[in-house]
Structure 1
C-alpha cells in the first residue's frame, strides 16, 4: 500500500499557526493577578507542548541542532525550532495527567495539567509550575530541553457557584525542543497516568461530549449523606461541557491500586475454565468483571478545559468557544429556567466577544456590516477579517492599542491586558462568558424550586378540592 495513502496527513498549517501563536504569547505576556483580600493561596499549571515527528520525516540522530545562543530572544529560538524539517511535518501534542484517586481531594481522578500549589520556597508562579511538573510527571522544564514560551490569562478559581474564592490559578506554556525526551516518571501519590494528546484531537468537534457532576461537589463544603441525597433529588446533576481525549501515548503508574487490584476476590482469582465446586453460587453472586488499566474515557472538562479553551481558540478551526456550553442541570424544569433567565446574558456575552475581534476604527453602517460578516464567518468556523483576507493570523483584526475590560469569574477582576491582536480576541474568554453567570444560576434555582412548590401546592389543593366535592356528592 502506498505510504502516503496509509497515513493521515497532518495539515502543515496547524504547525505554522502554532508557531505564530507562540510568538505572540512569548512577546506579550499577560499581567499577574493579585490575590483578593484574605486569600493567599496561589497555584500554577504547566501547559507542556511537544512536536511528535512524522514517520516520513523522522529526525536523524546526526542532524545538527538549531543554533541557539544565550543572547537569542525567545522569538529567535522559536523560529529556529520551527524551522527544522521534522518539526514542519510533525504533530503538535499536549501533556495531560489523570490525578490519583484520593479521598477528600476535590479534584480526585480528574484529568488535569501538571501543577499544584505554590510553596513559600518558590521564586514565583512559573517556578511553582516547573517544580510541580518535575514532581508529578518527572519532566524537566529547563532551558536546555524546552522553551519557556509565556503564560495564559491568570484567573480566580471559585466554588459554590462563584461565591467562594479558592485560589488564583496561573498557567504557563512550555515547548519541548527534543523529539526523544526521557520516559515520564509518575508520582504515585499524585498521578495515576499521563497522556500525550494531539492538538487535532482537542480541536475536533467529534470529540465534544459532557460530564455529569453532583451538585454537592460544586459547593465549598462538599455535602455527604442525607444532604447530598436532598441536593440530588432537588437539582439532579450539573452538566458541563467536556472533550473526550484520544491519547497518542499513555504512561500508567503501575504501582497504584487504580492500575491493578492489590487484593483480588477469591471468586475472581479462580482460573478460567475451572468450574466452581458449588455450581449454583455464581448464579446467585454475579462475578464482578474489571479490566486494567481502567477503560473509563478520559474527559477534559471544568477548570482545565476553561484554561485550554482560550489557547485552543487561537488555532484553526477557531471554534473552541463556539462548542463550549454553559453549565446547567439535568432536571428539565431547572434547565429551562436557567436557559430563559440567562438568554439575554448569553447574547450579550457573544456581542462582547465579537466586539473584541472586529475593527475599532469603523463606525455606523460600515461597522455593522463588518460585525454581521464576521459573525457569519464565526458561525462557519472561520476567523478571517473580511477586509484583510490575504494577511497572516497574527496581523488579522488590527485594532487600536487600548486596554480591554477586565474580566473574571463571578465579577472578580482578573486584570487581563489584551495587548496583541490575537490576545484581544481570546484572553480570558471563558472567564468573560462566566462573569455573572452563576448569579443568574442561583436566581434560576430559586425560581425553579419556588415553581415546584407552587405546582405541588396547586396539585394538593386540586386533589383536596376534588375529594371534598366527591364526599359532598
Structure 2
C-alpha cells in the first residue's frame, strides 16, 4: 500500500463521526463513580508506512501499575506538555526512542475513559524515515509490531471476561501471536477498527 493511500485511509477514518469510549462499554451494570476526577493522558498509535504495522509495548513486569501488559507508548499529561498530542509524542520518545520529529501527526481520536481514572486521548501518527525501537528498560520490556490490517479488522476481536474487584468484567481482546492485547489498548484499537470499516 502506498504511503499516500494509507494516509488517506487513516485521515478518512479520523474524519468519521465517533464518540468517546470507556472501559465500561461492555459492562453496563458497572457505572463509573459520579464524583470521579479524570486525569488527562495520551497514547500514540504510531503506524509505519513501510511495514504497515502499529508499534506496541509490553510493560515492564517491575511496574506497580499494569505490569507485563501490552500498551501503546504514552502516559499522563505533564505540566510541561502544552497539548495532549505533545504528551503522547514525549512519552513515545522516552519509552520507545521514537523521535517526535519523525512522527507526522494525523489527528486525535475521541477520548477513552479508563477504570483507573484517566481520560486517555489516542493520537494517530505516521512514522517518517527509518526507525529502530529502543525500549526504556525501567518501563518497557519489549517493543513489537502488529500488522495494521490485523488490528483494524473487527473479525479479529473477541470479547472475553475475568473477575475484577468482585465483579465479572468484559473487555475486547485482539490476540496476535504470543501477545495478549486487551483492556484500554484493545478497546482503543476496536474503536479504530470500527472507523476503518464503516
TM-score, structure 2 normalization? 0.77
8 Å contact from structure 2 (residues 46, 55) kept in 1: yes
Higher fraction of strand: 2
Superposed, which structure 2 residues align to 1:301-450 within 5 Å?
A: 301-315=182-196, 318=197, 383=198
Matches within 5 A, 1:253-268: none
Q: Deviations over 1:144-184 (max 9, x none)?
A: x331110010133235xxxxxx1211111110122x22x21
Q: Distance in 2 between matches of 1:40 and 1:215?
A: 20
Q: Which has the higher contact order (CA 8 A, sep 6+)?
A: 2
**2:79 aligned partner:** 120
The answer to whether residue 95 in structure 2 is matched with residue 136 in structure 1 is yes
Residue 44 of structure 1: how far off its partner (Å): 0.7
- Residue in structure 2 matched with residue 244 of structure 1 by the alignment: 175
**Cα deviation, residue 126, structure 1:** 1.0
Change (3 A) 1:96 1:209: same
Query: Where do residues 110-189 of structure 1 align in structure 2 (5 Å cutoff)?
Result: 110-142=69-101, 145-158=102-115, 166-178=117-129, 180-181=130-131, 183-189=132-138
Aligned to 2:56: 96
Deviation at 1:193, TM superposition (A): 0.5
Say whether the 8 Å CA contact 2:107–2:123 is kept in structure 1. Answer: yes
1:245 to 1:14, Cα distance in 2 relative to 1, 3 A: farther
Identify the residue that residue 7 of structure 2 maps to in structure 1. Answer: 19
Deviation of 1:214 after TM superposition, in Å, equals: 3.3
Give the deviation of 1:103 after TM superposition: 5.5
Q: How many residues of Structure 1 are paired with residues of Structure 2 in the alignment?
A: 185
Q: Is the 8 A contact 2:173 2:181 kept in 1?
A: yes
Offset, 1:42 = 1.1
User: Which structure: larger Rg?
Assistant: 1
Distance 2:3 2:80 in 1: 39
In the aligned structure 2, how far is the partner of 1:313 from the partner of 1:31? Answer: 11
What is the 5 A alignment of 1:214-293?
214-216=163-165, 231=166, 238-246=169-177
Partner residue in 2 for 1:42: 40
Structure 1 residue 26: deviation in Å?
Answer: 6.9
Structure 1 range deviating more: 297-306 or 37-46: 37-46
Task: Please state whether the residue corresponding to 2:195 is helix, strand or coil.
Answer: coil
Aligned mates of 1:30, 1:123 — CA distance in 2: 25
RMSD of equivalent CA atoms: 3.3
Cα distance change, pair 135–211 in 1 and its aligned pair in 2 (3 A): farther
State the shift of 1:301 in Å.
1.2
Given that residues 112 and 184 in structure 2 are in contact (C-alpha distance below 8 angstroms), is that contact kept between their aligned partners in structure 1? no
- Matched-pair contact (CA < 8 Å) for 2:171–2:183: yes
- Cα distance, 1:141 vs. partner? 2.1
Identify the structure with the greater helix proportion.
Answer: 1
Mapped contact 1:241–1:301 kept (Cα < 8 A): yes
- Displacement of 1:215 after TM fit? 1.8
Q: TM-score, normalised by structure 1?
A: 0.35
